Amino acid sequence: MEKVASHPGRLSLAYFIVLILLVTLLLTMPVSSRSGEFTDFNTAFFTAVSALSTCGIAIVNTAAYWTYFGQAVILIAIQLGGLGVMTFASLITMTISRRIRVSQKLLTADELGASKLSEVQSVIAVVLVCTFSVETVAFLMLLPGLLHINSGSLGNSLWEALFFAVASYNNAGFTPDSAGLYINSWSVGLPILLSAFVGTLGFPVILNIFRCTKRLEGPRRWNLHTKLTMVTTMSMVTMSLVWFLLVEWNNQTLFWNSDISSKLWHSLVAAVMPRSAGFDISWMPHVTEQTKLFMSMVMFVGGGSASTAGGIRVTTLAVLVLVCRAAILRRKDDAVFGKRLHTQTVIMSIAITATCGAMVYIASLILLTITQRSLTDILFEVCSAFGLGGYTLGVADPSNPGTLYVLAVLMFIGRLGPMTVAYAISKPQPPQAVRYPAESIIVG
């Protein structure tokens, strides 16, 4: 136990696994299902992993299958997963003993993007305030629209507004209603869209923008991480919107009898949601094969670092683009916005992308072997699980438990991060005493 506590990566894994088992246990209980019977382990386990990883892939209808108790368990799991396992653990430790171990501080700093260990406790406080503030605003914006949809039913509207507010900010695509009516209603869909977008930016970006705004400073004073995150995020949203408008505009199966405003709205939803939010879109299976592949790429990239999103993260993509640009132009440094990237940042970005790409490839091979689905559908599902996109084309099949466990592992790694998992299962190596001479090799 002491070895786990002293190893930051293993400590994070231990906390996460304990939470998964606890949520699984609660969901298997008869009080959690509307049938009043025990839920099978596979369904409860997969739902627990999906909720804690803030992915949102559901193999049973959330509203029809789970009772309010079961939905409350899922909602709490989403909130804990969104705040971060180590953030939650540090918060409990602060409440009980007022002190946080160094190993906890290291992981919490990495999880929240704190630049210094001394900042961890203050950053946790800011993250909590930011999280609950955004969720409260989303709740208040959602309530009027849901009251209208539910014909004035206050109880259902309050619960659905709370559920959507928490799930949207934490980018978990679970929905408390059976019909998914939000997608056709601007009064409900727009708050969800905005909340999900803010959630993908990441705590460091939100904090930096808040501080600059408080000091009446504009975007020019944002730090490099915030600038790269915002530019890459907006570029991906714009690219996704243009793609969907061009490729799917005349898709009669998708947009049958739809007017222009409806097409624009659905295209905007498709541009924002798949990156990580994953709220159920009933027409998703009807998109073209090209769009499925495009969306797989979008989900693989995901959202911002230290956010509720998954994937390799938008800043990793930005670094790779800058490295490629520098190589093509034969520049020695990767400079952007008047700043030069650290070599270690470049190495880490390449390592993350290569590791995640290999993981997606292996998972796709396994699913191709154990299912009869097409490669496009499997790649879509794998990227959705790893990128915490939350969409499913039915590859996650309760009758084939192997698919559930492959996707559960992807969601697990997607939430914690591949490098965190790698650090946790590897044995720490002592620093090299000898530095060998460099030699050029031919590449490409």
Q: In Å, how far are 173, 308, 330, 344, 419 from 351, measured between CA atoms?
A: 29, 21, 22, 10, 9
CA 45 to CA 32: how far, in whole Å?
A: 13
The residue with greater pLDDT, 114 or 289, is: 289
Quote the pLDDT of residue 308: 82
- pLDDT above 80: residue 21: yes
Residue 411: what pLDDT?
94
pLDDT of 175 reads 84
The CA-based angle 312-317-319, given to 5 degrees, is 120
Output the DSSP codes for 164-198.
HHHHHHTT----SSSS-GGGG-HHHHHHHHHHHHH
pLDDT of residue 102: 46
Q: Quick: pLDDT tens for 372-398.
A: 999 999 999 999 999 988 888 889 999
pLDDT digits (tens, 9 = 90+) for 264-297: 888 888 888 877 777 766 667 778 899 999 999 9
Each residue of 145-168: b (16+ CB within 10 Å) or e?
bbbebbeeeeebbbbbbbbbbbbb
In percent, the amount of the chain with pLDDT more than 70 equals: 83
- Helix H or strand E segment including 318: helix 314-328
As a whole number of angstroms, the distance between CA 334 and CA 348 comes to 14
pTM beyond 0.85: the answer is yes
